[in-house]
């Protein structure tokens, strides 16, 4: 049996952990730059606040009902996510947990007797809430896809299921599939849902369940479709995956707080993002051979409505793989000269590092002074200082000081668990 543990309105739940007064009250969390709504509580849904809606459009409704509004606080969310995942590992064993996203994890429960699944699910729900303050929903079924179906149903009817649903018999599986719209099946995107409904009259998960494997291979993406169909029939086709320890690509991207026209500001932003990406690279003891830089211009349509233009990017291959911030900033800044166009207004920029290799495989240069070959020690010291003191206590001059382009976050809550000067106080 497999389980999916899903944090309920995760970002909103994180904000509520340190603001108990917000329990049962409408809460929303905004995206980078306070642009769109990316997390909403059940109470906010009931008054009509839409997910992914632009904040400026939803603002009248939010102000009318006094909805608590927060800018994204990824330091807090990341730390609480780690605590939730560590709690799950403590309950069922590290080897049985697959972290799927910041707010979801699959559990392998094949070692748990069937008559204990319901009590285990309830224990997971209660323990995570007690240890972390975050509410979760638990769905258990023979496969990952069916577990997602169970989880969705438990969240849709919290009052009845109490955030827990186990579907462990053929009858329960059929009932759950009949109640699940085809667009809510894990692995069925919007386009496929429209196609299945319009061309084949497949409107529910049960309708898809009744199809043959050769039909799924022809009409549902080949092998991927066959796997999905097998999962709906309770046959494991999507296996548990080991935790990804080392990333094959590292990216840092941000929206600007206000439109940027000056190349100097673009270069400062790219230098800052490169520094952040280099820190991530060193954290996994790796080095990169390729660095890519991109910018996104802001364009205006004939109707007067603004939209994002196509991403403009370029890249370069480095002479040797490196994780040194200074050796990555220099080529990154040069790449800006190739993609920047005078007179255009830019809304976003980013840096991507690829061609990643273990830094232990990089050989020192016999023809360079020893001080050059010991650059990693300098990088480690900078990382340690910045980690302990925070807020880029030590940074390269190319990153600038004013940062007028910095992301707008007008409703940012304290980083309660990762900053000494912002720790939650109990009086």
**21-44: pLDDT as tens digits:** 999 999 999 988 888 999 999 999
Task: For 352, list phi and psi in degrees, rounded to 5.
Answer: -130, 135
Say how far apart CA 284 and CA 360 lie, in whole Å: 11
Q: Where are the domains of the chain?
A: 1-168, 170-242, 250-399
- Please give the pLDDT value at position 33: 82
CB 288 within 8 A of CB 356: yes
- The three-class DSSP label of residue 4 is strand
- Please give the pLDDT value at position 10: 95
pLDDT one-digit tens code per residue, 162-183? 999 999 999 999 999 999 999 9
Q: Any idea which architecture 170-242 has in CATH?
A: Orthogonal Bundle (1.10)
- Please give the pLDDT value at position 147: 97
CB 135 within 8 A of CB 7: yes
- 30 by Cβ neighbours in 10 Å (0-12 / 13-18 / 19+) ranks as buried
| Cα–Cα nearest to 405, from 288, 274, 275, 273 | 273
Burial 300-329 (b: 16+ CB within 10 A, else e): eeeeeeeeebeebeebeebeebbbbbebbb
CATH superfamily of 250-399: DNA polymerase, Y-family, little finger domain (3.30.1490.100)
* Token pair belonging to 135: 């509410």
Say how far apart CA 103 and CA 14 lie, in whole Å: 11
CATH topology of domain 1-168: Alpha-Beta Plaits (3.30.70)
Tokens 């069922």 locate to 92
H or E, element range at 127: helix 117-132
- Please give the pLDDT value at position 221: 84
Pseudo-torsion of CA 263, 264, 265, 269, nearest 10°? 100
Say how far apart CA 289 and CA 313 lie, in whole Å: 17
- Please give the pLDDT value at position 167: 95
Residue ranges for the chain with pLDDT beneath 70: 242-246, 300-309, 361-374, 390-391, 404
Say how far apart CA 76 and CA 132 lie, in whole Å: 12
Please check whether the two domains, 1-168 and 170-242, share a CATH topology: no
- Please give the pLDDT value at position 307: 55
Say how far apart CA 309 and CA 294 lie, in whole Å: 12
Say how far apart CA 143 and CA 4 lie, in whole Å: 10
Say how far apart CA 228 and CA 220 lie, in whole Å: 9
CB neighbour list of residue 143: distance below 8 Å, 6 or more residues apart: 2, 230, 231, 232, 234, 235, 236, 237, 238
């Amino acid at each position: 049996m497999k389980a999916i543990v899903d944090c309920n309105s995760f970002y909103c739940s994180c904000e509520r952990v340190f603001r108990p007064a917000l329990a049962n009250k409408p809460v929303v969390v905004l995206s980078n730059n306070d642009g769109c709504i990316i997390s909403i509580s059940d109470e906010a849904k009931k008054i009509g606040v839409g997910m992914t809606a632009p904040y400026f459009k939803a603002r009248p409704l939010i102000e009318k009902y006094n909805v608590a509004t927060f800018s994204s606080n990824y330091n807090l969310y990341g730390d609480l996510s780690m605590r939730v995942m560590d709690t799950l590992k403590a309950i069922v064993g590290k080897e049985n947990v697959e972290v799927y996203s910041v707010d979801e994890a699959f559990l392998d429960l094949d070692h748990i007797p069937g008559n204990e699944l319901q009590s285990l699910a309830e224990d997971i729900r209660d323990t995570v809430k007690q240890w972390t303050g975050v509410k979760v929903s638990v769905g258990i079924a023979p496969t990952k896809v069916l577990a997602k179906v169970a989880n969705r149903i438990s969240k849709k009817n919290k009052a009845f299921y109490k955030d827990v649903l186990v579907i462990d018999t053929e009858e329960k599986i059929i009932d759950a599939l009949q109640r699940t719209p085809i667009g809510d099946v894990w692995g069925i995107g919007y386009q496929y849902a429209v196609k299945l409904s319009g061309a084949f009259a497949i409107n529910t998960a049960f309708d898809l369940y009744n199809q043959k494997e050769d039909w799924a291979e022809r009409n549902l993406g080949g092998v991927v479709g066959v796997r999905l169909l097998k999962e709906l029939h309770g046959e494991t086709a999507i296996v548990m995956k080991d935790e990804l320890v080392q990333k094959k690509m590292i990216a840092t991207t941000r929206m600007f707080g206000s439109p940027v026209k000056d190349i100097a500001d673009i270069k400062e932003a790219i230098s800052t993002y490169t520094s952040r990406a280099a820190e991530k690279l060193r954290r996994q003891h790796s080095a990169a051979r390729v660095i890519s830089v991109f910018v996104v211009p802001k364009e205006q349509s004939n109707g007067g409505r603004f939209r994002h233009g196509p991403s403009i990017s370029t890249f370069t291959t480095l002479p040797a793989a490196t994780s040194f911030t200074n050796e990555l900033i220099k080529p990154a800044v040069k790449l800006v000269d190739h993609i920047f166009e005078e007179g255009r207004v830019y809304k976003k920029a980013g840096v991507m590092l690829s061609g990643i290799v273990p830094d232990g495989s990089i050989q020192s240069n016999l023809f360079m002074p020893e001080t050059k070959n010991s650059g990693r020690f300098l990088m480690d010291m900078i990382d340690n200082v910045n980690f302990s003191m925070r807020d880029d206590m030590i940074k390269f001059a190319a990153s600038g000081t004013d940062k007028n382009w910095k992301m707008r976050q007008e409703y940012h809550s304290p980083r309660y668990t990762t900053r000494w000067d912002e720790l939650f106080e109990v009086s």
